[in-house]
Amino acid sequence: MRRWGTVLAVAGAACGGTQKQVAREQQAFTCRDRIVSYVATHHIGADELGVQMSCSDGPKIKRWKMDRSGQRAEDARAITPGEFEDIWKQVDGTGWPNLKDCTNGTGGKQDPVYTFDVKDDQNAASFACQSRSMPYPYNDLVDPLDQAAALGRGALGDDEPAEAKALDKKKPKS
């Protein structure tokens, strides 16, 4: 009898977890045509990398990177309406409809160029920033997108460029 009590307790806990997941996924959600993305070109991590969060086909987030040879690595996942709203709240806090190309980036010729596109049912904005690291408030667009896109995921593609691997092969072993 004692064994059945344990089995029932475990089964009840498992169902409770499922019920919580169902409740999370059944959150009321209005898309309002919202989308936010950035693309960084000539970045140290890849020739192009980017993240996009959208909701037209349900809330989701996608990230990608492409090396100089055109090899593209990409992944995407659905996110809950609550996750979408949390990220959007951070994006909205930047005042994105009023942002223009940044003037406070590092602006070096070799620095990556970040291009942003943000849209909802009332506004749309596109702007850029050339900088090694994103200055405020542009970092409040990049950081939450990067964190959400990487959540529960490993590195996207091979994190060592082919050029670096070739150098490793040329070095004599000591």
Say yes or no: 147 and 85 in one domain: yes
Q: What is the mean pLDDT of each run of 10 residues along the chain (174 residues)?
A: 47 54 66 96 88 95 91 93 96 97 91 96 97 94 95 70 67 62
* Parallel/antiparallel/unpaired status of strands 113-119 and 72-78: unpaired
Distances (CA, A) of 83 to 54, 78, 116: 12, 10, 20
Provide the pLDDT for residue 162: 62
164 domain residue, yes or no: no
Expressed as residue numbers, the domain containing 82 is 35-158
Contact 43/66 with Cβ under 8 angstroms? no
Say yes or no: 14 and 88 in one domain: no
pTM beyond 0.95, yes or no: no
DSSP secondary structure code for residue 91 in this structure:
H
Specify the number of domains making up the chain: 2
Provide the pLDDT for residue 70: 87
